Chains A and B, each alone.
Chain A
Amino acid sequence: SQQGEEDPQALSIQEGENATMNCSYKTSINNLQWYRQNSGRGLVHLILIRSNEREKHSGRLRVTLDTSKKSSSLLITASRAADTASYFCATEDTGRRALTFGSGTRLQVQP
C-alpha cells in the first residue's frame, strides 16, 4: 500500500455514534496530523500527534499513534451531522517539512 493509506475509504454512521478512521504509513515520521475537508473546500487542521506521543485528545477527537506498527487512528465521539466530511491523515516524514497525505476517509453522519 502507499504511504498514508486510510481505511475505511467511506464510513456511514448515525448521529451520536462514534466514528473510527485508521491510517497506515511507511516511513519514519516527526509527527502525524489529521485534517478535515468539507466538499470542495480547504483543509482544516484537526490535531497533531508527535512521534513520541501515543495518544492525544482534543474535544471529541481522540488520536492514537503506534510507531511500531506505523499506524494511527482518529476517533470522533458522539458524532454530529456537521461532522460529515472527508478526513485525511498526513505525515511529516523525518528530515522533511512537507506533508504526505493519505487517501482519506469520507464520513457521512446521518441525522
Chain B
Amino acid sequence: EPEVTQTPSHQVTQMGQEVILRCVPISNHLYFYWYRQILGQKVEFLVSFYNNEISEKSEIFDDQFSVERPDGSNFTLKIRSTKLEDSAMYFCASRPGQGARSAEAFFGQGTRLTVV
C-alpha cells in the first residue's frame, strides 16, 4: 500500500533555530495535513492544505509556522525560531478526498523534534 514518507525521523535543534520538516504525501491525494503530538498528550491538528493553499489552521499554527508544497510532491512544515515547547512528534497526513476511501487519512511515521 502507498505510504506517506517523512524525513528526518528525528531532528534535534537549538532553541531559536529554524527547522523544516519534510513529507512526501501519497500521490493523487488531494488533502495534506500536519498534526503534532507532544509526548504523552493528544494528537493535535495544526494545518490542512488543499488546492495549493491553506484550507484550515488551528490556534497553534501561528506566524511561527508555515507550510509549502514547492514541487507537487513534497509538503513541508517550517518552524521559525523554535521554542522548547515545540518539542513534539510531528505527523504529516494525506487524504484522497475522492473515491471509496475519500475520508481516510494516511499518516507518516512522524518526525520527532527535540528543541534544546
Does B45 sit within 8 A of A, measured CB to CB? yes
Other-chain residue from A35, A40, A48, A99 in contact with B45 (beta carbon distance below 8 A): A99
Given the interface pairs A33-B105, A45-B104, A45-B105, the reply to whether A97 lies near B95 with Cβ below 8 Å is: yes
Contact A100 B109 (CB under 8 A): no
Contact B45 A100 (CB under 8 A): yes
Which of the candidate stretches A16-24, A57-65, A101-109 sits at the interface with the other chain? A101-109
Given the interface pairs A41-B110, A88-B43, the reply to whether A97 lies near B48 with Cβ below 8 Å is: yes
Cα(A43)–Cα(B107), bound, Å:
6
B48 / chain A contacts, CB cutoff of 8 Å: 97-98
Q: Is the interface of B mostly helix, strand, loop or mixed?
A: strand
| Nearest-CB residue, chain A, relative to B45 | A98
Q: How far is the CB of B60 from chain A (nearest CB, A)?
A: 12
| Nearest-CB residue, chain A, relative to B97 | A97
* Contact code string B29-44 (vs A, CB < 8 Å = 1, else 0): 0010101000000111
Can you give 16 contacting A-B residue pairs, CB < 8 Å? A33-B103, A35-B107, A42-B110, A43-B43, A43-B107, A45-B106, A88-B43, A90-B43, A97-B48, A97-B55, A97-B56, A97-B97, A98-B33, A98-B48, A101-B42, A101-B45
Residues of A participating in the B interface, judged by any CB pair closer than 8 Å: 4, 30-31, 33, 35, 40-45, 48, 88, 90, 92, 96-104
Instruction: Beyond the given A98-B33, A99-B43, please list 12 additional residue pairs across the A-B interface where CB-CB is below 8 A.
Output: A31-B103, A42-B107, A42-B110, A43-B91, A44-B107, A45-B106, A92-B103, A97-B48, A98-B45, A101-B44, A102-B42, A104-B42
